[in-house]
Amino acid sequence: MPPSDSLFESNNFSRLLLERMMGISPCIQELEPYEFRYCLKEWEPPSGWQSVALDAMAEMEVYLGDRRYYESIQVAPRVEAAIVMDKEVTRMTRMLFVGLVTGQYPVEWVLNHFYFDGRGFYFLPRSLYFTDAIRVHLGGKPYRAFEQKQKMLDNRFEIGYREFKEANREVDELFIDSIQKLIAARGAPTVLAIAGATAAGKTEIVERLSGAFTQSGMKVTSMELDNFFTDREYREAHGLDSQGKEAMHLDVLIQCLEDLLRGKRVFTPHYDTVLATSSHDLQGNLKPGRKPIPIEPADIIFIEGNFPFLIEEIQHLIGLKVVYLTDDPIRMKRKWRRDMDFRKKYDLNYFRNRYFREQFIMAEVAYRPQMEVCDMLVDTTGAALWVTPGLEKILDGG
């Protein structure tokens, strides 16, 4: 039997949806009904909720697992010069709202495939990070696991670093202690590469690791992979993906790492993000009038970047390959506080469109591939430290 017209009347629809959403997102419980209606009004179709046609769940599951679906999302579509929500992102959230109210999309199914961002007031697909192959690579189970305290942040619309840090305290302390044990066992100098998605906490944990090494009397330095990019004009002309080694001064990168591991001072290229040009030409020679970046030898050499060990040619030079993982819903809440409230970095709709588009793609091209070859994985959301069997023996004194 089709839903009655009264079900789609604005106030009735809002009341019923609020009831369903209580089981979807804890932060919804923080809203009064009139506040919920304010938020919902943005998504109401001009011709009413009854005009929303629903895709079958099986059909949705297929395209939600297809990278081409996310590549079709526009991050900055415009109407009269203003950036608006992408049509597909809008359609998806409307479908889920209607499907929940009519019962055509069970709450359990929605939770399995989506999460709801309370601040953006829209649904985003869940990213898959752990696969069977990754679990096998990391010994089949976590090295250590703790209470998952990030769950206490589920009712928050945004998250600051102080509460994020406290929720991760136990796993972070174990991680820092474990890294120090491994360096002591293996010796220095060593290259330490930490991969992590935006707002996963990578920058902060690197700073804390650096402080721990410095306190123990070790010298620390860092090298940014982004500085090894070739000119953007060259990359775009040749259709080069900025994640690929073809877009980098690879020979220079290899030489710098080798020299640092020999205790030598090096000079890396400098990539000007404003001009989108490198200080070096395609042959790896310094351009006239440009200056390279000097890096002194150190005991610990951090490689900074989103893809530090996707390049096979440098993997053997990296002493420890780490993925620092935080699940998408928590990262989104961190980005609201950091990038929107504090940095005021993005247009609202650009921010929401971009996050919807990028998470699946980045998990597929960057983070799962690095999880498949990493030595250690810090899962802050799962409050677990994963290590390869070989490292587990070292950490346990074997």
Q: What is the pLDDT of residue 306?
A: 78
Exposed e or buried b for every residue in 199-219, given b needs 16+ CB within 10 A? bbbbebbbebbbebbeeeebe
DSSP 96: H
CA distances from 192 to 248, 305, 322, 364, 377 (A): 20, 12, 8, 23, 13
Last residue of some domain: 87, 104, 125? Answer: 125
Query: First CA to last CA across the chain, in angstroms?
Result: 66
Please report, in tens digits, the pLDDT of each residue of the chain (398 residues total).
566 678 899 999 999 999 999 999 999 999 999 999 999 999 999 999 999 999 999 999 999 999 999 999 999 999 999 999 999 999 999 999 999 999 999 999 999 999 999 999 999 999 999 999 999 999 999 999 999 999 999 999 999 999 999 999 999 999 999 999 999 999 999 999 999 998 999 989 999 999 999 999 999 999 988 899 999 999 888 877 656 678 899 999 999 999 999 999 999 999 998 888 999 999 999 999 999 999 999 999 999 877 888 888 999 999 999 999 999 999 999 999 999 999 998 999 999 999 999 999 999 999 999 999 999 999 999 999 999 999 999 999 86
140 with 61, same domain: the answer is no
Tokens read off for 82: 């203003």
Q: What is the pLDDT of residue 237?
A: 87
Q: How many residues appear in the chain?
A: 398
Q: Which residues contact 221 (CB under 8 A, 6 or more apart)?
A: 260, 295, 296, 297, 298, 300, 301, 302
Q: What is the pLDDT of residue 199?
A: 92
181 with 159, same domain: the answer is yes
11 with 120, same domain: the answer is yes
191 with 311, same domain: the answer is yes
Q: In 3-state terms, the chain is what percent helix, strand and coil (to 5)?
A: 50, 15, 35
Q: Is residue 35 part of a domain?
A: yes
Map tokens 């608006």 to a residue: 84
CATH number for 383: 3.40.50
Nearest of 98, 100, 102, 101 to residue 90 by alpha carbon: 98
Nearest of 21, 49, 23, 51 to residue 35 by alpha carbon: 21
In this structure, the number of other CB atoms found within 10 A of the CB of residue 320 comes to 20
- Return the SS3 of 240: coil
118 with 140, same domain: the answer is no
Q: Is residue 254 part of a domain?
A: no
Residue 35 C-beta-side C-alpha neighbours within 13 Å? 9
136 with 106, same domain: the answer is no
Return the beta strands (E) in the chain as ranges.
Answer: 78-79, 82-83, 114-117, 122-125, 144-145, 190-195, 220-224, 266-268, 271-272, 277-278, 293-295, 300-304, 320-325, 376-379, 384-387
The answer to whether 165 touches 204, Cβ cutoff 8 Å, is: yes
In this structure, the number of other CB atoms found within 10 A of the CB of residue 274 comes to 5
- Whole-model pTM: value is 0.92
The answer to whether 139 touches 388, Cβ cutoff 8 Å, is: yes
Q: Is residue 271 part of a domain?
A: no
> Cis link prior to 189 (omega < 30° from 0)?
yes
101 with 207, same domain: the answer is no
Where residue 139 falls (left for φ over 0; alpha for ψ -120 to 50; beta otherwise) is left
Q: Is residue 272 part of a domain?
A: no
Beta bridge partners of 122: 117
Last residue of some domain: 125, 155, 179? Answer: 125
Q: Is residue 247 part of a domain?
A: no
Tokens read off for 222: 């860092």
307 with 357, same domain: the answer is yes
163 with 309, same domain: the answer is yes
121 with 165, same domain: the answer is no
Which domain does 13 fall in, by range?
5-125
Total domains, the chain: 2
Last residue of some domain: 97, 125, 153? Answer: 125
Q: Is residue 15 part of a domain?
A: yes
Q: What is the pLDDT of residue 398?
A: 62
Q: What is the pLDDT of residue 327?
A: 97
